[in-house]
Amino acid sequence: MIISSLTEAKAILDSNKNLIIPTETVYGIAGNIYDKESIENIYKIKNRPFTNPLIVHIDSIQAMEKVALDIPNAAYELANKFWPGPMTLLLKKRKDVPDLVTANKPTVAVRIPNHQTTNSLLSMLDYPLAAPSANPFGQLSPTSMAHAYRYFGQEIDILDGGKCTLGIESTIIGFDGDQPVVYRLGALTLEEIHNISGLSPKRKESESSDNSSPDASGMMYNHYAPQTRLIFTDDIFTEIEKNRDKKLGLLMSKTIYNDREKSTIIVINNNSNSKLAAQNLYTDLSYMDTLNLDVIIAEKWEEKGLGMSINDRLQKASSNC
Ligand code: TXA
Ligand code: MG
């Protein structure tokens, strides 16, 4: 059922059921972090390995202190600058945070989202909400109510929050002492972190492509993927030529493509607008999935700002990674 009343949303969560909630990044499947059954159900319904931990959504810095300890100064600096917002912090967890939520890791991932409806809901609850993206494991994250409904509308209630304004997941930042380390690049860019907080996070490189227990998500391959085969390339015209006999979907970053003769092609030109492209990325890919294409060819973005985050998602969605 689709709901819009916060009282109803609270009642669903208070009775230990799951609820799909909107955030500024993507929709998430939420449950009370202290209720075993609703957390177990999140993993099951997503078909997500129990080794892949969940993000805990909170409404204040005080709430962060209830789930984490030994919080580095840099974490407070970042939290003060970027919360509410698309940033998740990996912190040492308190003992009473259930191991099921953190997949037995010593850390807990926390964030204050920036969506009016969900922030109001969080402030009405006595507990934080664990909420991974509301998609079956490995598939595209939903950035609209309708997309979430297609995945889970028959099974889980959805709190309507319109279209997600940012469209890709939060940036996940852990700490090496007081040094921030980016585990997953997302809607908050390295440039924004540097320019606004003065901090220069390091990038955590994937140490292995072991999909069973990644250090942080986003380090997994074959993630964020459409059903259609996707080729990710810097040389879009060579790939178009190689696939000229196929039914193609083109997702262009900087190059404008308007070859009218090729009637079987669907083209989305992003005109170098990475903000709009990020907002629409999963909608565009899921739309292309409905068109029975042979292949989607996505053009690489310049490695800066949101372009870096989009490249990360497209690389993981591609079969050539
Ligand atoms: O924007 C977002 O972050 C969205 C919205 C709903 O908040 N959530 C989201 O959740 O993208 P999810 O589960 O799809 O991706 C979060 C990733 C997990 O895959 C997990 O690997 C990583 O965060 N993670 C969570 N807790 C962790 C921990 N304690 N240590 C390392 N990685 C962790
Ligand atoms: Mg996800």
pTM as predicted: 0.94
Tokens, residue 14: 């208070």
Task: Tell me which residues have their CB closer than 6 angstroms to ligand 1.
Answer: 23, 25-26, 28, 52-55, 88, 90, 102, 105, 107-109, 113, 131-133, 169-170, 172, 214-217
pLDDT number for residue 223 = 72
The SS3 call for residue 285 is helix
pLDDT number for residue 106 = 98
Going by C-beta distance under 8 Å and a sequence separation of 6 or more, which residues neighbour residue 186? 25, 86, 168, 169, 170, 171, 172, 218, 309
Tokens, residue 70: 């030994």
Pocket test for ligand 1, best of 114, 217, 223, 279 (most atoms within 8 A of CB): 217
Q: What is the DSSP letter of 53?
A: -
CB burial of residue 305 (10 Å; 0-12, 13-18, 19+) = middle
Whole-number Å distance, alpha carbon 133 to ligand 2 midpoint, is: 4
Instruction: Note whether 149 and 79 are within 8 A (CB).
Output: no
pLDDT number for residue 218 = 46
- Name which residue sits closest to atom 12 of ligand 1, judged by CA: 132
pLDDT number for residue 314 = 97
Other CB atoms within 10 A of residue 99 CB: 12
Quote the CA–CA distance of 79 and 88 in Å, as a whole number: 9
Which CB contacts under 8 angstroms, 24+ apart, belong to 45-48?
Answer: 45/18, 45/152, 45/155, 45/156, 46/132, 46/135, 46/136, 46/137, 47/136, 47/137, 48/132, 48/137
Helical packing angle, 305-317 and 274-289, nearest 10°: 20
Reading the chain (321 residues) residue by residue, the pLDDT tens digits are 999 999 999 999 999 999 999 999 999 999 999 999 999 999 999 999 999 999 999 999 999 999 999 999 999 999 999 999 999 999 999 999 999 999 999 999 999 999 999 999 999 999 999 999 999 999 999 999 999 999 999 999 999 999 999 999 999 999 999 999 999 999 999 999 999 999 999 998 754 444 444 455 444 556 778 999 999 999 999 999 999 899 999 999 999 988 766 666 899 999 999 999 999 999 999 999 999 999 999 999 999 999 999 999 999 999 654
pLDDT number for residue 225 = 84
